[in-house]
Each structure stands twice: as structure tokens, then as C-alpha cells.
Amino acid sequence: MTATASHLPQDEVHVWTLAVPGDPDTLATFRALLAGDELARADRFVFARDRHNFSAARGALRMVLGFYLGITPQAVVLHYGRHGKPNLAKEFGLRFNLSHAGSWVYLAVTSACEVGIDVERLRAPGRHSRLDLARRFFSVDEVAHLAALDEARQVEAFFACWTRKEAYIKLHGRGLTLPLAQFAVSVDPDQPARLEATPWLPGDLQRTRLYDLTAAPGYRACLATGSTRALTLQQRPWSAFPPPAN
């Protein structure tokens, strides 16, 4: 079984964005779609908010994957990579990734290539300053670029850089085993998202594209795709799900 072409043409990436609902009935509808291992994981969260976010994200993911595959959400079988990246069996021909932050869930789906997605809430720094965090997680060039910006733009730039890097990390599915300082993305939040250097895997400069996504005020989000082909990105709110067939 493969993704139905009428719903997901080969050169498209669809991103669905969901604000986790607060009402118990909708949350229960999402939860009812979860597999046994997912229910067990949901119930291990200490805080109800985390449980609801996880359940809504997994429920929505199952609805999206089920829709594109033409099966029920409950029939979707997820597998996990070595570092935890969820995926479908290869024969389905469908790749996806999801991210959550605050009450937002972002889901990317495509049949074109591997994808990674990240959404982050713009948070105030804790014990460590933003530049301290950048020195820990960013490359030398990224840190220099960030430090050169005036302070008012550093918050947006920090999270632009973070989401671009994280989307790239999630594309590869290797978690933090991927050398964070060994690749660089564009830092300026007003410039297009771009992979600028990848000494650890030089071929990625040709085959990786980054796309900043639309996000609610106070959030940043980015998508990474691993394809040399130009893809069309369609970002849609959950209120438009399911989409009409073409």
C-alpha cells in the first residue's frame, strides 16, 4: 500500500498544524486512536498537560497517516529508528515527522523524501545566557553571527537557528549523536532558512532544503527535506483536515 496520489502528489510536502484542544471530549477522541504502547506512554506523564499534548499529537498523527494511506488511524503501525525516530514500514512510501512545543503540534508528511520538523516556543533564557547556550549547541560561525546581532534581534535569531538545526537533526533521525558544531545553518531570522555548511556530510549541501514555517506569535518552526528535487510545501491548519481529494 502506498500514499494515494490524489491526496499527496509526489512532489509535495504537507504540514498540518494543530493547537492542542482543551476540551475533554476532543482530547478523548484523539486518545481513543492510540495503540497500547502509546497509551502506556501517555499515562506515564506526570502532568496532565504533557499527557494531553502527547495524546493529541499521536492521535492527529494517526489520523493524518491513516488518511494518506487510506486506512483507519488505528491500523497505522509505527516503527522506531535506533534513536527513536518514528516511521512507517518502507513499502508504504510515506515519510513523516512531528514536533510539539507549548500547545502546538506540527506534522510533516510526504512521499518524496525523509523529513524533519521542529517548532519551538520563544522562551526566556534560564540559568544560562542565550550566547552560553549557543556556544554549547551551535557552530563557531553560528555563534559569531548571533553575537553580532543587536540584543533585540537575538531572541528571534536564536530560535530561528535552533529550529533550523533541530529540523536538520530530525531529518537524519540520529538525535544528538549528530555533531551539532559540525554543520551550520543561516542564523538571521529575516533571511531564508538554509543549510550553509556540513563538513560531517558534504553531500547534504546539495540534497537538503530548509523551509521556515508559519508560526503563531512567540513561536518559530522549520522543516528540513532531504531531496534534490524542488518540492511544493503546503502548510494547513487542522481545521482544514481532511483535505478534499484533488
Which stretches of the chain bind ligand COA, using CB under 6 A? Answer: 54, 57-58, 83-86, 97-100, 116, 118, 137, 162, 165-166, 169-170, 173, 175-176, 180
Minimum distance from residue 101 beta carbon to ligand COA (Å): 6
Minimum distance from residue 23 beta carbon to ligand COA (Å): 21
Minimum distance from residue 183 beta carbon to ligand COA (Å): 10
Nearer to ligand COA, 5 or 50 (CB): 50
Minimum distance from residue 139 beta carbon to ligand COA (Å): 10
The whole-angstrom separation of Cα 109 and Cα 68 is: 9
Nearer to ligand COA, 5 or 175 (CB): 175
Task: Scan for cell 502509546, then name that residue.
Answer: 38
Nearer to ligand COA, 44 or 229 (CB): 44
Exposure on the CB side of residue 10, measured as CA atoms within 13 A: 1
Minimum distance from residue 186 beta carbon to ligand COA (Å): 14
b (16+ CB within 10 A) / e for 177-210: ebebbebbbbbbbeeebbbbebeeeeebeeebbb
Nearer to ligand COA, 52 or 209 (CB): 52
How would DSSP label each residue in 215-228?
A: --TTEEEEEEE--S
Nearer to ligand COA, 5 or 75 (CB): 75
Helix (H, G, I), strand (E, B) or coil at 118: strand
Minimum distance from residue 7 beta carbon to ligand COA (Å): 21
Nearer to ligand COA, 5 or 125 (CB): 125
Q: Name 202's Cβ contacts closer than 8 Å, sequence gap at least 6.
A: none
The whole-angstrom separation of Cα 84 and Cα 175 is: 8
b (16+ CB within 10 A) / e for 52-78: bbbbbbbbbbbbbbbbbbeeebeebeb
